[in-house]
Structure 1
């Protein structure tokens, strides 16, 4: 979620941090388009023609890349396939015209108004037009709380990264919200596991990449999956599966640590809440609803939820099969021993939610009710350490620094430690932010927040969604362009070799790349704060310990 999602954020997601700290306040399928509406005749084919195992695909030249937009990786999850695992796509006759992106998956953006279509399991592919040989492949999974976002958003365009990194870049749509992440096995055993269908879509996309990406110049043996927020949580979940190296060889987890994967009980409780909101007792009732009716049911269900369940309502859960057990435990036991992993966060993750409710920056320590109960006797002591490291900042900003560490940074470092037992692992932190201006309200002086690294990684520098972002970009374009180019180079190097170009992370040194102007390497940054959490065993995401504290 970057510029587009910020402009249309739902209340459920926008309230995330406020809730955590106490709540102060259809497109046709390929087969249907065989009459020519969705296909190009062989006579019209020029450059940018791929020959896959399913049929030819005609892309379009866009500068230094060939863009193939709207290439199906699975059958449409419509009709009898609604709430079912993804099925393989069917071959198509003639040549598939892939010059226009498909709509994203259905998502509820405002009362009674949804966008997207259920026939949405498509990829966007950007292939460099220069150089020979098989190129590394980079598959991007967008964020959006598993209820927002689309691969066709300008923020997620892979052209710049593909051209600069000399890599084939793929962006994926996957089912969102109720359609992709609601566990229906409790009312019909035939739909057991449906609460992970969004994750199954992503696995299906990666399987399709392995099978077909060579037709687009990619190397199926050098696949990197990278994603941010919800996309990163899915990657964390996949790393805990059986033999993730069969899907990808490298993985980048951006602000989505594995502890945010749900427990089975959480998935069952969330599904029960959705079904109760619509008096649903059987899958047939859901199957009979229109897409808009499903989106309205989804919104109704979320409006009735309080606490952090609202912010992380949808997402992958530990089902015992696709995700056999708690993510970090699985990684520590070696589930991803054949995968190179890079992980990172932003310095001020939770400042992001001040874009929607400035009051999150004014929360006193007493409102920090999601603080772990087992650490309650040292809450004040921990606050004092964080405050001493941030002289002059108001209490609310100190609380947000603690919350960033609780939800994002420290869980990410725990995950890095687990993976480092098996394979060199790399850690970064994105520190750049719009410069502070004295005298402005706190909500106008935000730090390096959640999502802010995405425009730099993909090379789509558009900072207008952040306070004073557009003016800062205009004034500092050369420095910020250089920062973006260096980040693209690091991500591409990681995709080629498994190393982004700085030393790996070990519990002894904790070497961390800090992306800022200027860039720098640090061993164990803010380690005096990290160690304060050492006695806390982060659980998989459930209503506990959150619900017990109000």
Structure 2
């Protein structure tokens, strides 16, 4: 099985009331003017309103690792919204990354701790621009909303911060059962707990607005960026009320908006979890240890196949934080004051083959998640995809169709919706480890899900991909150049909203193709995109995908 590894990071295996904390979406004061930085760049020290912070000098950057953005969601607060941080005495030693939030026992012996609501901040050191407020980039990691941590080495923001002269922030948030289980049916005091992971992220962005000035950042110029599950959470925020009060720009990587859960599904998934443990009260959950909760989570997901398992947890349309379907909300102008950049990889579903090689041999007859509304066109669409891929086996053709259904085409729909309001930018990441003749298909994978992340962060660790380490060793200068180009575009977009290529419109569909020789193409694979025009991409209900293995 390849459960819990399909949507998310390859690299992670092994006060105030609620209104204040989610104020960015429910109505909050505008950010204060950028505070004068109190940073000692030589010794990586700074002061925020909560107390003094000691960071770590790492080359050209100061790293502040493990700075709390909310109170520990422990004890009586386990399933409640995040609460404000209590100021500390003395100096906070922010010199080591935190372990992240609790994660499924199937990936290790109880990885993480419930006291996990922390940020990592990377700040360029010194230089002539040290006193000029810098653009801020806040990263939300992926991992199927069950795995991952801000402290993953691939997400180290030092290279990105130095390259783009920006403040880079990475956040942890509650995962799995602890962050995404709706308990309002058990006790109305816990209504909305199914989006607590999203509330954590909103609390982190609120913390950034309040405190990033002391790190040299501009609280009025914040870009949120995320991949996979992290990107889907950003989609949910874009569909909220006034997301521009949290951030001015968003970069959505491999996470189209329709993957936000329907409200019915969120309730159904919660009922499934509670039934698995015969849970009839929140008090029963509160009495369980972290390890017992993780075991309950694993038990609930046993036998849940394919994408239904990989997307078991996540943000949902709850009528408040997320008032309605993402693309519909965006089309109606919910994010009219936010600039958007979004994209996918060329071969998203090849990622699955890292865990289950048989997915590359999926015949058309086994493509059970193909939309019923298009059933009479299934063979015709397959033939069109096959004609564009002469010589490829059927499984590869089917996987190209699944990539378009799950990622590329709905991503373009979201870009179209936002382009009505603001210039919107689209990319496609095409680079992959070079194919080698004679190797099994699972060793010759394309530009899969997550592959762009080492390039975005400038940390060219491709050890998790077949032959990745050898490829980097053999071609580091060219791959470094590609990474540099991508970091320039990501940080340029964060600085001024222009990544370096034309904006996307339904009439032109300009798309940046990332490869060792980057280019801009108008409407790449347009014939295949148009084949999905009759499909409305409804709110995501994973039950519709339960037959997909």
Compute the TM-score of the two structures, normalised by the length of structure 1. Answer: 0.92
Residues 364-390 of structure 1: CA deviation (Å, up to 9, x unaligned): 000000000000000000001100111
* Secondary structure of the corresponding residue to residue 310 of structure 1: helix
Shift of 1:194: 0.2
Q: Which of residues 36, 52, 57 is equivalent to 2:48? A: 52
Q: Does 1:225 align with 2:221?
A: no
1:112–1:292 CA contact under 8 A, matched in 2: no
* Secondary structure of the corresponding residue to residue 219 of structure 1: strand
Q: Does 1:12 align with 2:8?
A: no
Shift of 1:109: 4.0
Q: How far, CA to CA, are the matches of 2:348 and 2:232 in structure 1?
A: 15
Q: How far, CA to CA, are the matches of 1:394 and 1:11 in structure 2?
A: 22
1:15–1:357 CA contact under 8 A, matched in 2: no
Q: How far, CA to CA, are the matches of 2:287 and 2:250 in structure 1?
A: 39
After superposition, where does 1:14-93 map in structure 2 within 5 Å? 14=5, 47-93=43-89
Structure 2 unaligned residues grouped into runs of 5+: 9-39
Shift of 1:333: 0.2
Partner of 1:3: none
Shift of 1:513: 0.0
Which deviates further from its counterpart, 185-194 or 305-314? 305-314
Q: How far, CA to CA, are the matches of 1:372 and 1:330 in structure 2?
A: 23
Q: How far, CA to CA, are the matches of 2:391 and 2:92 in structure 1?
A: 60
Q: How far, CA to CA, are the matches of 2:7 and 2:51 in structure 1?
A: 44
Partner of 1:447: 446
Q: How far, CA to CA, are the matches of 2:107 and 2:43 in structure 1?
A: 44
Q: Does 1:337 align with 2:336?
A: yes
2:226–2:251 CA contact under 8 A, matched in 1: yes
* Secondary structure of the corresponding residue to residue 110 of structure 1: helix
Q: How far, CA to CA, are the matches of 1:464 and 1:48 in structure 2?
A: 31
The count of corresponding residues between Structure 1 and Structure 2 is 515
Q: How far, CA to CA, are the matches of 1:56 and 1:340 in structure 2?
A: 34
Q: Compared with structure 1, are the counterparts of its residues 111 and 466 closer, same or farther at alpha carbon in structure 2 (3 Å cutoff)? A: closer
Q: How far, CA to CA, are the matches of 1:520 and 1:240 in structure 2?
A: 31
Q: Does 1:428 align with 2:409?
A: no
Which deviates further from its counterpart, 367-376 or 302-311? 302-311
2:419–2:505 CA contact under 8 A, matched in 1: yes
After superposition, where does 1:38-437 map in structure 2 within 5 Å? 47-110=43-106, 113-130=109-126, 131-132=129-130, 133-306=132-305, 308-437=307-436
Partner of 1:40: none
2:51–2:88 CA contact under 8 A, matched in 1: yes
Q: How far, CA to CA, are the matches of 2:364 and 2:291 in structure 1?
A: 41
Q: How far, CA to CA, are the matches of 1:199 and 1:455 in structure 2?
A: 25
2:305–2:548 CA contact under 8 A, matched in 1: no
Shift of 1:308: 3.1
Partner of 2:24: none
1:112–1:296 CA contact under 8 A, matched in 2: no
* Secondary structure of the corresponding residue to residue 513 of structure 2: strand
Partner of 1:504: 503
Q: Compared with structure 1, are the counterparts of its residues 404 and 504 closer, same or farther at alpha carbon in structure 2 (3 Å cutoff)? A: same
Q: How far, CA to CA, are the matches of 1:12 and 1:218 in structure 2?
A: 39
Which deviates further from its counterpart, 508-517 or 127-136? 127-136
Q: Compared with structure 1, are the counterparts of its residues 396 and 370 closer, same or farther at alpha carbon in structure 2 (3 Å cutoff)? A: same
1:141–1:172 CA contact under 8 A, matched in 2: yes
Shift of 1:307: 5.1
Q: Compared with structure 1, are the counterparts of its residues 222 and 16 closer, same or farther at alpha carbon in structure 2 (3 Å cutoff)? A: closer
Shift of 1:95: 1.2
* Secondary structure of the corresponding residue to residue 115 of structure 1: coil
2:248–2:338 CA contact under 8 A, matched in 1: yes
Q: How far, CA to CA, are the matches of 2:547 and 2:168 in structure 1?
A: 44
Structure 1 unaligned residues grouped into runs of 5+: 1-9, 18-43
Shift of 1:55: 0.9
* Secondary structure of the corresponding residue to residue 161 of structure 2: helix
2:311–2:542 CA contact under 8 A, matched in 1: no
Q: How far, CA to CA, are the matches of 2:141 and 2:409 in structure 1?
A: 22
Residues 431-485 of structure 1: CA deviation (Å, up to 9, x unaligned): 0001111111111110000000000000000111111111111111111000000
Q: Compared with structure 1, are the counterparts of its residues 356 and 11 closer, same or farther at alpha carbon in structure 2 (3 Å cutoff)? A: closer
Shift of 1:45: 11
Compute the TM-score of the two structures, normalised by the length of structure 2. Answer: 0.92
Q: How far, CA to CA, are the matches of 2:362 and 2:514 in structure 1?
A: 28
Q: Compared with structure 1, are the counterparts of its residues 180 and 388 closer, same or farther at alpha carbon in structure 2 (3 Å cutoff)? A: same
What stretches of structure 1 move > 4 A for 4+ residues in a row? 547-550
Shift of 1:63: 0.5
Q: Compared with structure 1, are the counterparts of its residues 15 and 328 closer, same or farther at alpha carbon in structure 2 (3 Å cutoff)? A: closer
Residues 496-521 of structure 1: CA deviation (Å, up to 9, x unaligned): 00110110000000000000011110
Partner of 1:525: 524
Partner of 1:30: none
Shift of 1:547: 4.7
Q: How far, CA to CA, are the matches of 2:298 and 2:469 in structure 1?
A: 33
Q: How far, CA to CA, are the matches of 2:89 and 2:5 in structure 1?
A: 45
Q: Compared with structure 1, are the counterparts of its residues 16 and 371 closer, same or farther at alpha carbon in structure 2 (3 Å cutoff)? A: farther
Q: How far, CA to CA, are the matches of 2:452 and 2:245 in structure 1?
A: 28
Q: How far, CA to CA, are the matches of 1:212 and 1:269 in structure 2?
A: 39
Shift of 1:111: 7.5
Q: Compared with structure 1, are the counterparts of its residues 246 and 125 closer, same or farther at alpha carbon in structure 2 (3 Å cutoff)? A: same
2:339–2:422 CA contact under 8 A, matched in 1: yes
Q: Compared with structure 1, are the counterparts of its residues 60 and 417 closer, same or farther at alpha carbon in structure 2 (3 Å cutoff)? A: same
Q: How far, CA to CA, are the matches of 1:218 and 1:455 in structure 2?
A: 24
* Secondary structure of the corresponding residue to residue 68 of structure 1: strand
Partner of 2:466: 467
Q: How far, CA to CA, are the matches of 1:498 and 1:112 in structure 2?
A: 41
Shift of 1:60: 1.4
Which deviates further from its counterpart, 437-446 or 478-487? 437-446
